[in-house]
Amino acid sequence: MTMQFFGTRGSNEVAVSLPLAYRSKSHWVPRIGDVFPDFTAPTTHGKLRFHDWAEGSWVYLFSHPAAFTPVCTSEMVGLAGGADAFAARDIKLMSLSRDTLDDQCRWCDDIARVFGTPVTFPMISDIDGVIARICGMLHEKEDPRLTARKSILIDPALRLRMIFEYPVRVGRSVDEILRVFDALSVSDELDVATPSDWQEGDPLLLMHTEDPRRARARFRSPIDSVLPYLHLVSED
């Protein structure tokens, strides 16, 4: 059972289907493990239905405050410049803000002209903030009119796997998003965890719930037991 929400002022093209179970008093609080709600929205690539567009691929969906602002411009340049790294991992990108499509396109023209980094992914124009409000992408305490710097990784089954939010004056790191994706991939593949600041090739961690004596059979290299609850293992 889902509820439908529609834009009213700037655009009646936005519609969000929110499972009833996600409905709290005013909005859904996105949580890791939730299926991301479906929505239709106008984007710089035309009108898209999110589930049709996203299903079967990893998606990095992010909101940002506004076009023609300095921190957002630097983030767009970083993401557009990282297009090959996202494509190599089969991650699709999609942005969301309350700007008009016209402003988003003019802003992208600036970015391509000045920085040489064309923005090739779709940008959602959520003028009324319908998706933003329902999906917890507004930040009432910073500026309720603007979308927050919210970052979400969604897996091919449409489940939310990572979520973080940055302050309006702090730009996000592309490397960190790719790092979390790589960590999730290895953790899914090998049923392990990754330590703080893990980078590809670094040792991995056994989950504290796994018996290291049993885990030995799963790995070729020896397990390094540092503490009774901390066991390092390498990927090969």
Q: Residues with catalytic annotation?
A: 72
Q: How far is CA 61 from CA 132, 168, 194, 236, in A?
A: 12, 17, 23, 32
Q: How many CB atoms lie within 10 A of CB 52?
A: 10
Question: Binder to ligand BEZ among 146, 152, 177, 206 (CB under 6 A)?
Answer: 146
* Torsion angle of C-alpha atoms 97, 100, 105, 110, degrees rounded to 10: -70
Residue 65 in contact with ligand BEZ, rule: CB under 6 A:
yes
Q: Which of residues 68-107 bind ligand BEZ (CB under 6 A)?
A: 69-72
Q: Which is nearer to ligand BEZ, 69 or 185 (CB)?
A: 69
Give the x-and-dash track for 6-45 against ligand BEZ (CB under 6 A).
----------------------------------------
Q: Which is nearer to ligand BEZ, 149 or 231 (CB)?
A: 149
Q: Which of residues 164-203 bind ligand BEZ (CB under 6 A)?
A: 168
The residues pairing with 4 across neighbouring beta strands, listed in sequence order, are 17
Binding segment (CB under 6 A) for ligand BEZ, from list 15-23, 61-69, 122-130, 196-204 = 61-69
Are 74 and 171 in contact by the 8 Å Cβ rule? The answer is yes
State how far the Cα of 55 lies from the Cα of 159, in Å rounded to an integer. Answer: 10
